[in-house]
Amino acid sequence: MKARGRLAPTPSGELHLGHAASFLRVQQSIREKNGTLILRIEDVDRLRCKQEFVDSSIEALKALGITWEEGPDLGGDFGPYVQSEKTARYKEIILKLRDLNLVYPCPVSRRQLREHGFDLAHGEALFPKELRDSCDQIPEDPWSINWRFRVPDGLKLSFYDQELQKEITFEAGIDFGDFIVWRRDGMASYELSVVVDDHDMKISEVVRGEDLLLSTARQLLIYRSFGWDEPQFGHCPILKDGEGEKLAKTRGSRSLKSIFSEGRDWRQMLKDCGLGKVLD
């Protein structure tokens, strides 16, 4: 099958150099295979995602020299696919997972979680297993409540990382617990929406930041629940600032928009981070 990759920015803030490195690597990998690249806006977080960031993300991609070959026709140009337009499809998948007894409605509040010693393990919050039994009632409006995936304890999920060039393994129930696939605000979670979209769009390889390694393990559970073909996964090293902190929108890391407006040499900045290979 012809290689298919995707650029998938979340419009919750301005893109930074870390995004540039990942997106350039996505394009490089697909071009090497003479494949097809698509653009998908991952805007399922209604509170944080804004149209202004959609527009600036597209402008930044174009300024980086990144192009894509598929999407809604804008009259000689291709626009992005948009996740917020696929709510009906995500609901369909949630119902299928429910019929397989793989997800359950979860009315548990943050206060209840704290009362049950909700803590962090390996940087990931583990849902208390004893609370599952209190999550068997489906409300009148099933989409106004969180839904969680029922994680099978002890299952090991492994995949070969094409970028890190090594086998990665996580254990369900140890590295991560029951995770949210539908949010009470009426939108699918990142884990569910990404898997459904990558499956529907026949994405053959996923290249993204190393901070999403654990997400890959959770997403593999969804793929395997349906027997869907899994893409190859590759995770790029996380870029850090001068203080050794990872670049992140939440930390106000310097945006590509500001770098471009100041006429800074973003290519040299990537080379200074040891990422010259994404410019080959």
Say if residue 78 is in the same domain as residue 39: yes
Secondary-structure percent of the chain, ordered helix, strand, coil, rounded to 5:
40, 20, 40
> Which parts of 174-243 fold into alpha helices (H)?
190-200, 213-226
Say if residue 229 is in the same domain as residue 91: yes
Say if residue 167 is in the same domain as residue 223: yes
Residue 74, pLDDT score: 80
Residue 119, pLDDT score: 55
Say if residue 76 is in the same domain as residue 134: no
CATH number for 92: 3.40.50.620
The model's pTM is 0.89
For residue 52, CA distances in Å to 19, 49, 59, 70, 96 come to 17, 9, 11, 22, 35
Say if residue 216 is in the same domain as residue 165: yes
Say if residue 107 is in the same domain as residue 81: no
Say if residue 96 is in the same domain as residue 146: yes
Say if residue 190 is in the same domain as residue 271: no
Residue 251, pLDDT score: 45
**Domain assignment of residue 73, given as a range:** 1-85+242-280
Residue 116, pLDDT score: 63
Say if residue 192 is in the same domain as residue 137: yes
Burial 11-26 (b: 16+ CB within 10 A, else e): bebbbbbbbbbbbbbb
Specify the DSSP element, H or E, that contains 40: strand 36-41
Cα separation, 162 vs 204, whole angstroms: 12
Say if residue 115 is in the same domain as residue 233: yes
Residue 124, pLDDT score: 53
* Angle value at C-alpha 267, between 266 and 269, nearest 5 degrees: 60
Say if residue 18 is in the same domain as residue 33: yes
Beta-carbon neighbour count of residue 84 at 10 Å?
Answer: 15
Residue 256, pLDDT score: 93
- 8 Å CB contact between 102 and 73: no
Say if residue 93 is in the same domain as residue 223: yes
In 3-state terms, what secondary structure has residue 50?
coil
Residue 168, pLDDT score: 97
Consecutive 10-residue runs of the chain (280 residues): their mean pLDDT? 94 91 94 96 91 95 94 85 95 96 83 62 63 71 90 94 95 91 93 97 95 95 97 87 54 77 90 76
- 8 Å CB contact between 234 and 32: no
The token pair that represents 198 in the structure block: 């990558």
Specify the number of domains making up the chain. 2
